Structure 1
């Protein structure tokens, strides 16, 4: 099963569990000897590994945010599980989030970056996710598809990553990468 089909199935599962009351929903997967990928929200045996954990607070519109993530990820060629992990770490799925440094919205986009991305309303969930995902695509392209470096650049700025020749020695950036990695459920 291709990664895109698996991602689509996972987003579909996340949308289906959306109306349920839950703080987190982990989707597990494993690939059997014949190549079939099995997905479940219940870890029924040791072969199942977390694919990603979908943690959207009950106060958020789960179905709508999942749809925005799926659309932006598909359009920009970014793994929807990665975008979901980034949104969780960046804003905790709070559409109106503002960081102490001024980053705004679900993907915590700085005002200068928003201008560069032609994002006119950082608090519009769909536009914020699209712009943040498009920016992540740009960073992935700039850093040769290296997710760890792209995440470091998303957090600390691409210039900082370039100057350091890799992940900068900034505790906040290193913690950010680890938090996203932990929620992404894949090696980065």
Structure 2
């Protein structure tokens, strides 16, 4: 079944827009004249076989990804239970997930993060988990704190540096709490 993790891809455009407050938004479609084309990114085609989408339940998807997650955990000195927690909160194990901000795949890599870690197709589960885990390890080394690393994963490392703590964004504060709760639950299983 491991071969199902690797697949051919069709391509989708990603558009970018910076609002008057300086906030950058990403979308997979042009939502108006102010939106500019940013990059073309591979994504699974509708008829394509995928290990994650071929499984009906979250538990099945989780089991099918365990080998990939264990490999990344070993490679980047992370607890597999932590990677599972991040994936569950980020995408609920859906490898074709795309957020309103343009984050993609299981670990919801932003286009710039995918590029930073040389991911050509963020919808390939193994590549996404590897890059997301590598980024998480980098954040842990950078901040020497799980809550700050998770805040950096969600809001960006610049926001954590700017505030010297978890940024005062409700989404980020909720995210950190939720991932840590899932991580603790995973450790008890």
1:36-64: CA deviation from partner (whole Å, max 9, x where unpaired): xxxxxxxxxxxxxxxxxxxx961654433
| TM-score (ref. length: structure 1) | 0.66
Aligned to 1:96: 96
- Whole-angstrom CA distance in 1 between matches of 2:114 and 2:172: 20
Instruction: Mark the runs of 5 or more structure 1 residues left unpaired by the alignment.
Output: 1-55
Deviation at 1:143, TM superposition (A): 0.5
Aligned to 1:139: 139
- Whole-angstrom CA distance in 1 between matches of 2:178 and 2:57: 21
| TM-score (ref. length: structure 2) | 0.66
Aligned to 2:107: 107
Instruction: Mark the runs of 5 or more structure 2 residues left unpaired by the alignment.
Output: 1-54
- Whole-angstrom CA distance in 1 between matches of 2:57 and 2:66: 13
1:60-102: CA deviation from partner (whole Å, max 9, x where unpaired): 5443311111100110001111100000000010000000000
Give the count of matched residue pairs. Answer: 130
- Whole-angstrom CA distance in 2 between matches of 1:100 and 1:58: 24
Aligned to 2:172: 173
Aligned to 1:53: none
For the 8 Å contact 1:57–1:93, the answer to whether it is kept is: no
For the 8 Å contact 2:136–2:149, the answer to whether it is kept is: yes
Q: The residue matched to 1:185 in structure 2 has which SS?
A: helix
Alpha-carbon RMSD across the aligned residues, in angstroms, is: 1.5
For the 8 Å contact 2:96–2:106, the answer to whether it is kept is: yes
Structure 1 segments, 4+ long, off by >2 Å, are 59-64
1:9-51: CA deviation from partner (whole Å, max 9, x where unpaired): xxxxxxxxxxxxxxxxxxxxxxxxxxxxxxxxxxxxxxxxxxx
Aligned to 1:183: 182
Aligned to 2:85: 85
Aligned to 2:66: 66
Deviation at 1:135, TM superposition (A): 0.4
Aligned to 1:154: 153
For the 8 Å contact 2:93–2:106, the answer to whether it is kept is: yes
For the 8 Å contact 2:62–2:93, the answer to whether it is kept is: no
Q: The residue matched to 2:177 in structure 1 has which SS?
A: helix
- Whole-angstrom CA distance in 2 between matches of 1:136 and 1:57: 28
- Whole-angstrom CA distance in 2 between matches of 1:58 and 1:174: 28
